[in-house]
Amino acid sequence: MKVPASWSAKLKCDSCGGFMELRTAKQGAHAGRQFYGCIAYPACRHTLPQSVGDAILADIKRAAREAEEKAAAQRLADALATDLGFLEFLDFQ
């Protein structure tokens, strides 16, 4: 299933494992406020306050960014080791 870009594809529902999306309360004491709700609603009624969902997403994005930076550094190190391998045959004395 392709997930629409508007969904928070990396924020998973703790209850059913589905995706959570940012929604706006339409009625009640919290009308107009945003929250994360499970896309399986009404079968799954799990929600998160927007602040909690945003914090979780920020942690996920930070971890992904750190993993990508580490992978990029490793790719660079591998490329340098391969490209500069010929230097071991040179005599620098």
CA distance 93 to 91: 6
Name the residue with tokens 């399986």: 40
Q: What pLDDT does 8 receive? A: 43
Q: What 3-state class would DSSP assign to 15?
A: coil
**% of the chain residues with pLDDT over 90:** 46
Q: How confident is the model at residue 7 (pLDDT cuts 50, 70, 90)?
A: very low
Long-range contact pairs involving 35-41 (C-beta distance under 8 Å, separation at least 24): 36/8, 36/11, 38/13, 39/7, 39/13, 40/13, 40/16
Q: What pLDDT does 92 receive? A: 55
To the question of pTM greater than 0.85 for the whole model, the response is no
Delimit the domains of the chain by residue range.
8-83
Residue 21 structure tokens: 């999306």
Contact at 8 Å (CB) between 6 and 21? Answer: yes
Tell me the pLDDT of the chain averaged across its residues.
82
Q: How confident is the model at residue 50 (pLDDT cuts 50, 70, 90)?
A: very high
